[in-house]
Amino acid sequence: MKILVPVKRVIDYNVKVRVKADESGVELANVKMAMNPFDEIAVEQALLLKEAGQADEVVLVSVGPTQSQETIRTGLAMGADRGIHIEASHDTEPLAVAKLLKEVVTKEEPGLVLCGKQAIDDDSNQTGQMLSALLGWSQATFASGVEIAGDKANIVREVDGGLEHISVSMPTVISVDLRLNEPRYASLPNIMKAKKKPIDSLSVEELGVDTAPRVSVLKVEEPAARAAGIKVGSVDELVEKLKNEAKVI
């Protein structure tokens, strides 16, 4: 079985995000970028399935500018076999990404697509579900446990009430959650090997997908500063402020 893993280049989660002076978006110039953390978990799960003998190839695909190849190289250094880069000069919305991935899936014919549940830059949580709908495949979201059993995938999902156990038919699209696994660090030998692993380049035009934005960003602004806390002298004073000032009781 071949596993396809979409990966996205985002601002490193350790970096404080800054809004541009003209409020048209967030500042990306001279900012450290990295693979989306949820996508790292998806790559790790694909590698675990391969090591367990349930997959024979792990293919990474990324949509974005030329620098996205660095993100693919990160996954190749973790142990993935090859990469596919779809060159896109502007931000692509989830539906456009899902359509591009559909074309790649049609070409590559994987038995499983593993993706992060969401990207930490836009938090859309849409691409996996849209891809499933476009392909007509089953889907499992928010997976914190994945087990492949023949033509079925047994999934543990994180839901508000606890854990939900479901079984879906293969092929399927699975979006993974934070507690599924802990991604491995790439060793120096694997980083060197990754430089020789192939990355195929495709263009949006080749795939015949319209990626024109459907949403216009009007303004991006910093969240309001949080007001400082205060100390109260008694329980009565606390209750009075909660009731008359905060109006929460």
SS (HEC) of the chain: CEEEEECCEEECCCCCCCECCCCCCECCCCCCEEECHHHHHHHHHHHHHHHCCCCCEEEEEEEECCCHHHHHHHHHHHCCCEEEEEECCCCCCHHHHHHHHHHHHHHHCCCEEEEECCCCCCCCCCHHHHHHHHHCCEEEEEEEEEEEECCEEEEEEEECCEEEEEEEECCEEEEECHHHCCCCCCCHHHHHHHCCCCEEEEEHHHHCCCCCCCCCCCCCCCCCCCCCCCCCCCHHHHHHHHHHCCCCC
Give the chain's domains with CATH numbers.
2-244 (3.40.50.620)
CA–CA dist 57, 1 (Å, integer): 7
Tell me the pTM: 0.85
pLDDT tens per residue across all 249 residues of the chain = 999 999 999 999 998 888 888 888 888 888 899 999 999 999 999 999 999 999 999 999 999 999 999 999 999 999 999 999 999 877 889 999 999 999 999 999 999 999 999 999 889 999 999 999 999 999 999 999 999 998 999 999 988 888 999 999 999 999 999 999 999 998 899 999 999 999 999 999 989 998 888 888 888 888 888 888 888 899 999 999 899 888 888
